[in-house]
């Protein structure tokens, strides 16, 4: 009996160190942040001196037009960049999934933008967008057109940060999609070819559905990242003009350092966290539903035989 | 055992007392050296990466040589420096013996009781130099940066006292291209009408060149640029009862002035920070630049500037009154410092007549009237006389220095950016700022007594 008990406990014993590390490294900071979000906390105070204000930070934020604006900008930014990146990344992977000479060099070149530090990406694009000496406006002017106010007009500034982000992160989707494509079962592809499927049909009915699990994870990773992007926008526009590119993570950082409201910054982070958790769950729930449906269909098909 | 220890300590103390007495008498007899007790001390100081403090670094070896006090310097970009200090100052035992703080940190640090009141050091005859001459310190700077606890809390007044000494302080002047103004017969602007006329005339007569390069980037920069015009045009952010008056006629005039300047400025002005605006002027893309005096040395450096020798300097033009900005840095001793007395000696040495001149000669910004009058300095930096004159009109109240300022400042800056780039109506924009500012002030308790 005792031995059985001990046996049952052994796995937990082995898990304990990992669980402990997890609790200290993950739960403690999150708990700290949640606690801080209930405080009116100025960085010149210690946390113990801060006044407990309950849900005031959360309530204030809901009626704060600047916060709502920045929440909206974040949603818009994430939706736009992730859509463009998914289409471009998967498209490129489908195009380049073949044996051409020098393919490995090409692939390495494609993922270069991803390897550059975000601050450097920001600076680089900032110089390219420069109104008078930047490459874009110089080219446009030499062709006889009016220069574009890349960073000094709200709509253009939003487009500019989207372009920079797409440039940097499309390779991420590309490389994961390519890996997914290359691990697809050759038998399915061969069967499709024998059945006379066109290239387009192969993509739509065979490749994409088989890649779906990988694509969903990729999408999720990119989406989470897009919600947290900071450095490139910080360097490019610092949120301006007006609030046109002030995404949530930038607003959080400004709230903490410029407005000196640590409690409110923590509450904002929690809103962002809640949003991301909902998104993640929704995505996994969808994935599960799709899997269940496929399993049901397969079972039905097997029963028919 | 206990008594033995006591006895020994007693003897030791007596011995050391005698020692001090002897050395003090000797020193008194031969040469007074107030620095002797602190010889060998190492001070750790935290200062910004800024031309003035680079100049200070060149002068510090002279301090160590004279006093035997070593100085270790931690230099950071000024907003990073502020973040670091905010954390440092809440510790029980701080790492810094002396800090340089940005002017708007005064409110935060003093309110959180983190800076030493300087009275007890100036009252200590062993520390205070009788030849220090406080009256010679530039009064606008002292009022703006050093003193707290007077009028409205952040201004001087009968019950205020000093928590810091200005060091690396700045005011605003108008830098203009002498050659361009002469070529087209444009008078050097003395008032705002002339300034705005010149700003928009230059792009017409000198194609490809903007009128004035100004800060305008969303946030702190746009707010700074707006406030720069608000004070001379007769406006204020708050009245004496903390009611926002930023949206009155003067406020709208200041917003319109900024919009005119940016619209007639060089390409991309809407996103300029101070460095970009200065670079545009330095590269000949604008004919005027009105900002801190700290940029002048860069304009006159031929290795960085294409306009060296062609730049004239004039007072910040007059609106309904004269009012140039006051800003920059002060130095102070944190409450949690380890070597406060030695830190005071360093502070006093750096801001003394001799120290101030040495730093100014090395390229820093003077903190004393006498330094600005110094013939040697004027020979080396010909614009010093104009800067000294500008200081007489330096306005210590051009922006409020209160703990809620960070938030209001950011709001002004965001809205101004919308006025500049999205065509938001200035009156409507400022009404919104005033309304939100009132709510922030209300929450912070500024209307408790009304």
C-alpha to C-alpha distances, A108 to A93, A99, A103, A164, nearest whole angstrom: 13, 15, 9, 19
Question: Each residue of A199-251: pLDDT tens digit?
Answer: 888 888 889 988 988 898 899 889 989 998 898 998 888 887 888 899 999 99
Instruction: Give the residue on B whose Cα is nearest the Cα of A126.
Output: B271
Mean pLDDT of B176-205: 95
Name which residue leads in pLDDT, B294 or B436: B436
- Rounded to a whole number, what is the distance in angstroms from the first to the last CA of chain A? 49
Q: How many residues does chain A have?
A: 305
- Segments making up each domain of chain A, as ranges: 66-304
Distance of residue B417 Cα from the nearest chain A Cα, in angstroms: 5
A187 is written with which tokens? Answer: 């038998």
Instruction: Please tell me if residue B427 touches chain A, with a CB cutoff of 8 Å.
Output: no
With CA atoms as reference, report the closest residue to B170 among B222, B88, B218, B102: B102
Whether residues B218 and A237 touch (CB distance < 8 A) is answered with yes
Decide if pLDDT at A196 tops 50: yes
**Phi then psi for B330, rounded to 5 degrees?**
-130, 165
Question: Each residue of B230-278: pLDDT tens digit?
Answer: 999 999 999 999 999 999 999 999 999 999 999 999 988 888 888 889 9
Q: How many C-beta atoms lie closer than 10 Å to residue B310's C-beta?
A: 16
Quickly state the pLDDT bin for A305 (edges 50, 70, 90): low
A137-164 b/e (C-beta count within 10 Å ≥ 16 → b): beeeeeeeeebbbbbbbbebbbebbbbb
Whether residues A243 and B90 touch (CB distance < 8 A) is answered with no
Secondary structure of residue B211 in the 3-state scheme: strand
Q: What is the pLDDT of residue B6?
A: 43
Q: What is the mean pLDDT of chain A?
A: 89
In A86-185, beta strands by DSSP E: none
Q: Report yes or no on whether pTM surpasses 0.90.
A: no
Q: How many C-beta atoms lie closer than 10 Å to residue B266's C-beta?
A: 26
Which residues of chain A lie closer than 8 angstroms to B409, CB-CB? 258
Mean pLDDT of A19-36: 90
Q: What is the pLDDT of residue A62?
A: 92
Distance of residue A268 Cα from the nearest chain B Cα, in angstroms: 16
Percent of chain B with pLDDT over 70: 93
Quickly state the pLDDT bin for B297 (edges 50, 70, 90): confident
Tell me the torsion sign for CA atoms B176, B178, B184, B189. Answer: positive
Instruction: Please tell me if residue B109 touches chain A, with a CB cutoff of 8 Å.
Output: yes
Quickly state the pLDDT bin for B61 (edges 50, 70, 90): very high
Question: Each residue of B324-337: pLDDT tens digit?
Answer: 998 899 999 999 99
Secondary structure of residue B153 in the 3-state scheme: coil
Which residues have C-beta within 8 Å of that of residue B52, sequence separation ≥ 6?
A: B167, B168, B294, B328, B329, B359, B363, B364, B365
Decide if pLDDT at B339 tops 90: yes
For residue A31, the Cα-to-chain-centroid distance in whole angstroms is: 24
- Return the H-helix or E-strand segment holding B48: strand B42-48
Q: What is the pLDDT of residue A212?
A: 87
For residue B284, the Cα-to-chain-centroid distance in whole angstroms is: 27
| CB nearest A241 (choices: B406, B409, B422) | B422
Q: What is the pLDDT of residue A289?
A: 87
Decide if pLDDT at B12 tops 70: no
Please check whether residue A275 is in contact with residue A255, taking contact to mean a CB–CB distance below 8 angstroms. Answer: no
| CB nearest B417 (choices: A131, A242, A260) | A242
Mean pLDDT of A256-284: 90
Quickly state the pLDDT bin for A286 (edges 50, 70, 90): confident
Question: Each residue of A75-109: pLDDT tens digit?
Answer: 999 999 999 999 999 999 998 888 778 878 888 88
- ipTM above 0.85 for this complex: no
Whether residues B86 and A46 touch (CB distance < 8 A) is answered with no
Which residues of chain B lie closer than 8 angstroms to A241, CB-CB? 218, 270-271, 417-418, 420-422
DSSP state string for B345-400: HHHHHHHSHHHHHHHHHTT----BHHHHH-HHHHHHSTTHHHHHHHHTTB-TTSS-
Question: Each residue of B95-121: pLDDT tens digit?
Answer: 999 999 999 899 889 998 999 999 999
For residue B407, the Cα-to-chain-centroid distance in whole angstroms is: 20
When scoring B92, B271, B435 by the number of chain A Cβ atoms within 10 A, the one with the most, hence best to mutate, is B271
| CB nearest B421 (choices: A153, A238, A246) | A153
Decide if pLDDT at B131 tops 50: yes
Distance of residue B93 Cα from the nearest chain A Cα, in angstroms: 14
| CB nearest B421 (choices: A43, A147, A154) | A154
Whether residues A242 and B90 touch (CB distance < 8 A) is answered with no
Which residues of chain B lie closer than 8 angstroms to A153, CB-CB? 270, 421
Q: What is the pLDDT of residue B31?
A: 52
Q: What is the pLDDT of residue A1?
A: 59
DSSP letter assigned to residue B334:
B
Instruction: Please tell me if residue B89 touches chain A, with a CB cutoff of 8 Å.
Output: yes
Whether residues B90 and A260 touch (CB distance < 8 A) is answered with no
Secondary structure of residue A77 in the 3-state scheme: helix
Instruction: Give the residue on A whose Cα is nearest the Cα of B418.
Output: A242
Q: What is the pLDDT of residue B197?
A: 95
Q: Which residue pairs from A96-101 have beta carbons closer than 8 angstroms and sit at least 24 positions apart in sequence? A: A96/A174, A96/A178, A97/A178, A97/A181, A97/A182
| CB nearest A239 (choices: B219, B266, B269) | B219
Instruction: Please tell me if residue B410 touches chain A, with a CB cutoff of 8 Å.
Output: yes
Instruction: Please tell me if residue A253 touches chain B, with a CB cutoff of 8 Å.
Output: no
Q: What is the mean pLDDT of chain B?
A: 89
Q: What is the pLDDT of residue B247?
A: 95
DSSP letter assigned to residue A167:
H
Distance of residue B277 Cα from the nearest chain A Cα, in angstroms: 13
Which residues of chain B lie closer than 8 angstroms to A147, CB-CB? 267
B133 is written with which tokens? Answer: 């001459």
What angle do helix axes A65-96 and A208-228 make, rounded to 10 degrees?
150
Which residues of chain B lie closer than 8 angstroms to A132, CB-CB? 266-268, 285
Percent of chain A with pLDDT over 90: 38
Instruction: Please tell me if residue A74 touches chain B, with a CB cutoff of 8 Å.
Output: no
Q: What is the pLDDT of residue B5?
A: 43
Please check whether residue A233 is in contact with residue A250, taking contact to mean a CB–CB distance below 8 angstroms. Answer: yes
| CB nearest B268 (choices: A42, A132, A154) | A132
Q: What is the pLDDT of residue B11?
A: 41
What angle do helix axes B249-263 and B220-230 make, rounded to 10 degrees?
120
Q: What is the pLDDT of residue B32?
A: 65
Distance of residue B112 Cα from the nearest chain A Cα, in angstroms: 6
Which residues of chain B lie closer than 8 angstroms to A66, CB-CB? 411, 414
**CATH 1.10.3720.10, domain A66-304, yes or no:** yes
Q: What is the pLDDT of residue B24?
A: 42
Name which residue leads in pLDDT, A284 or B60: B60
């Amino acid at each position: 009996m005792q031995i059985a008990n001990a046996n049952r406990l052994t796995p937990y014993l082995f898990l304990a160190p990992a669980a402990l590390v997890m609790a200290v490294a993950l739960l403690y900071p999150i708990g700290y942040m949640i606690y801080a979000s209930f405080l009116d906390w100025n960085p010149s105070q210690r946390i113990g001196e801060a006044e407990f204000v309950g849900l005031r930070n959360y309530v204030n934020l809901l009626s704060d037009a600047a916060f709502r604006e920045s929440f909206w900008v974040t949603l818009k930014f994430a939706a736009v960049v992730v859509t463009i990146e998914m289409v471009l990344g998967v498209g490129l992977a489908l195009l380049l999934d073949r044996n051409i000479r020098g393919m490995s060099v090409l692939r390495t070149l494609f993922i270069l933008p991803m390897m550059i530090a975000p601050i450097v990406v920001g600076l680089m694009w900032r110089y390219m967008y420069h109104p008078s000496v930047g490459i874009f406006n110089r080219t446009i002017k030499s062709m006889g057109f009016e220069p574009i106010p890349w960073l000094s007009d709200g709509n253009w500034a939003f487009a500019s940060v989207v372009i920079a982000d797409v440039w940097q992160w499309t390779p991420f989707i590309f490389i994961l999609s390519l890996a997914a494509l290359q691990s697809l079962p050759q038998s399915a592809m061969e069967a499709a070819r024998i059945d006379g499927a066109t290239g387009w049909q192969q993509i739509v009915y065979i490749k994409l559905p088989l890649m779906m699990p990988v694509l969903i994870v990729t999408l999720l990773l990119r989406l989470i990242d897009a919600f947290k992007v900071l450095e490139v926008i910080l360097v490019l526009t610092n949120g301006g003009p007006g609030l046109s590119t002030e995404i949530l993570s930038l607003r959080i950082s400004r709230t903490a350092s410029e407005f000196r409201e640590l409690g409110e910054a923590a509450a904002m982070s929690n809103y962002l966290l809640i949003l991301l958790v909902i998104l993640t769950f929704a995505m996994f729930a969808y994935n599960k539903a799709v899997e269940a449906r496929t399993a049901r269909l397969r079972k039905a098909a097997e029963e028919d035989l | 055992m206990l008594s033995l220890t006591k006895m020994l300590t007693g003897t030791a103390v007596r011995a050391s007392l005698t020692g001090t007495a002897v050395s003090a008498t000797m020193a008194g007899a031969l040469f007074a050296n107030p620095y002797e007790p602190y010889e060998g001390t190492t001070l750790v100081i935290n200062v910004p990466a800024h031309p003035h403090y680079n100049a200070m670094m060149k002068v510090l070896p002279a301090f160590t040589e004279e006093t035997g006090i070593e100085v270790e310097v931690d230099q950071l970009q000024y907003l990073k420096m502020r973040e670091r200090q905010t954390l440092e100052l809440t510790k029980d035992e701080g790492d810094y013996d002396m800090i340089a703080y940005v002017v708007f940190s005064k409110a935060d640090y003093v309110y959180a009781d983190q800076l030493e009141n300087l009275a007890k050091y100036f009252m200590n005859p062993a520390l205070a130099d009788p030849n220090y001459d406080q009256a010679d310190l530039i009064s606008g700077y002292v009022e703006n940066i050093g003193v707290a606890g007077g009028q409205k809390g952040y201004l001087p007044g009968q019950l205020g006292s000093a928590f810091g000494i200005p060091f690396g302080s700045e005011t605003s002047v108008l830098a203009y291209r002498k050659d361009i103004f002469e070529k087209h017969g444009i008078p050097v602007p003395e008032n705002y009408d002339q300034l705005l006329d010149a700003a928009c005339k230059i792009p017409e007569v000198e194609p490809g060149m903007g009128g004035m390069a100004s800060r305008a980037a969303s946030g702190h920069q746009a707010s700074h640029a707006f406030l720069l015009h608000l004070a001379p045009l007769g406006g204020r952010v708050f009245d004496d009862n903390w009611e926002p008056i930023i949206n009155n006629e003067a406020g709208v005039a200041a917003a319109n002035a900024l919009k005119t300047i940016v619209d007639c400025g060089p390409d991309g002005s809407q996103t300029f920070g101070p460095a970009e605006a200065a670079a545009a002027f330095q590269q000949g893309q604008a004919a005027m630049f009105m900002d801190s005096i700290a940029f002048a040395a860069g304009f006159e450096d031929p290795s960085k500037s294409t306009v060296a020798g062609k730049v004239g300097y004039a007072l910040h033009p007059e609106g309904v009154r004269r009012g140039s900005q006051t800003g920059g840095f002060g130095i102070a001793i944190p409450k949690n410092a380890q070597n406060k007395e030695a830190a005071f000696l360093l502070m006093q040495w750096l801001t003394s007549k001799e120290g101030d001149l040495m730093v100014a000669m090395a390229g820093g910004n003077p903190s004393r009237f006498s330094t600005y009058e110094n013939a040697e300095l004027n020979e080396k930096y010909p614009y010093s006389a104009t800067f000294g004159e500008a200081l007489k009109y330096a306005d210590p109240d051009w922006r409020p220095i209160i703990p809620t300022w960070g938030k209001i400042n950011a709001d002004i800056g965001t809205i101004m950016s919308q006025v500049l780039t999205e065509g938001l109506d200035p009156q409507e924009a400022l009404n919104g700022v005033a309304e939100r500012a009132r709510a922030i002030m209300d929450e912070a308790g500024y209307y408790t007594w009304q």
